[in-house]
Amino acid sequence: MGIFDFLSGEFIDVIHWTDDTRDTMVWRFEREAHEIKYGAKLTVREGQAAVFVHEGQLADVFTPGLYMLETNNMPILTTLNHWDHGFKSPFKSEIYYVNTTRFSDLKWGTKNPIMCRDPEFGPVRIRAYGTYTVKVSDPALFLTEIVGTDGEFTMDEISFQIRNIIVQAFSRIVASSGIPVLDMAANTDGLGKLVATEISKVVADYGLVIPEYYIENISLPEAVEAALDKRTSMGIVGNLDNYMKFNAAEGMGAENSAMAASMGAGIGAGLGMGMAQQAAGPWGARPTAAVQAPPPPPVEHVWHIAVNGETKGPFSKAEMGQMAAKGTLTRASYVWTQGQDGWLEADDVVELSQLFSVAPPPPPPGA
């Protein structure tokens, strides 16, 4: 075998990449000092892109398919100095394979609590976490802006930066949304779309897209949740005085069943005396009626108004009436209050529709 036959056999003529990992985003084809032969075959599979870099300059990007590497389909390589050593113009170039499939089930979460101003509780701190997917949309831009000369670039190397972008966008949108913390769980879909739109604007400069973004949970600090649980329990109990009496009677019965039996006998005797007094008619002493405590006052709603895509409020019903009188609040204005299922027009809310139907009384008859 001649020397030229030996040299031509040393040149790589088949270039391809099969990925057996789940987190490799970019892999550089290792030449090991070999040169790529003119006319070599390049295989790019579905979910891949091949980026050619020659002498530090990006030469071309190949989408899925089978290619013959010739200068007629790589214009930048026509300026190479062709060798004349018995083989066809070998050239040295770096070839980077870019994984263009989705990287899914990636986690994000707030490292520190986010401070928000709630219309009901005042300043509160919340935490949130969820998942997202990322995909390379522009291989050339991703290679030049992020990867550089890294021979094997993984998802872990950029996930931390993307998580910071997500948390920053989430914090800004949630803090300015004006949605009460008790209603955020019902609005995670809308919040997720707003955050995804904001994130996409930033990662597009890296050649990436975020196809999916999910908010799995929004929670309060443990101390605040404990206080909220107590408040919920009080609402379930209702009349606290009756509840305490019931617990006391139940505890006494559990401690000493004999004492409970004697108490039952005493209660029976008392009932007998009461019935005897009632049978005595007007000559007998009548039992004193128990004094009941008045019910708690109704909770007044506070309202939010949507104006040009922004949330205004909260406003009391009296303030809403003043705005209705001035015309700044109309029947077609969108309003929302705690416990209401989404935004509604003011005319569709019974409590507010009355504000537009108040008319002055008829004038007095003429003298």
Which residue among 38, 66, 99 closes a domain?
Answer: 99
Compare 139 and 8 and report the one with higher pLDDT: 139
pLDDT tens digits, 292-320: 777 766 667 788 898 888 888 888 888 88
Number of structural domains (the chain) is 3
Backbone angles phi, psi at 52, to 5 degrees: -95, 130
DSSP-assigned letter for residue 283? G
Q: Identify whether 278 is part of a domain.
A: no
- Please, which pLDDT band fits residue 99 given cuts at 50, 70 and 90? very high
pLDDT tens digits, 31-78: 654 467 777 888 999 999 999 887 777 878 899 999 887 655 554 444
210 & 125 share domain: yes
pLDDT tens digits, 204-258: 999 999 999 999 988 877 777 777 777 666 666 556 566 677 667 767 665 655 5
pLDDT of residue 94: 82
Instruction: Please state whether 97 falls in left (phi above 0), alpha (psi between -120 and 50) or beta.
Output: beta
114 & 197 share domain: yes
Q: Look up the CATH number of the domain holding residue 136.
A: 3.30.479.30
In the chain, DSSP assigns E strands to 12-15, 24-28, 36-44, 48-54, 57-62, 65-68, 94-99, 103-109, 114-118, 122-136, 152-154, 208-219, 303-307, 310-315, 334-336, 344-345
pLDDT tens digits, 163-176: 999 999 998 888 88
Which residue among 70, 99, 128 closes a domain?
Answer: 99
Domain containing 312: what range?
303-356
Which range has the top average pLDDT, 56-60, 77-81, 117-121, 202-206?
A: 202-206
Q: Which two tokens stand for residue 243?
A: 């509840």
Is the pLDDT confidence value at 339 over 90? no
119 & 185 share domain: yes
119 & 211 share domain: yes
Q: Look up the CATH number of the domain holding residue 347.
A: 3.30.1490
Q: What is the C-alpha separation between 356 and 320, in angstroms, rounded?
A: 11
Q: How many helices (H) and strands (E) does the chain have?
A: 9, 16
Which residue among 205, 225, 245 closes a domain?
Answer: 225
pTM of the model: 0.55
> Please, what is the average pLDDT of the chain?
76
Is the pLDDT confidence value at 7 over 50? no
Is the pLDDT confidence value at 288 over 60? no
pLDDT of residue 97: 92
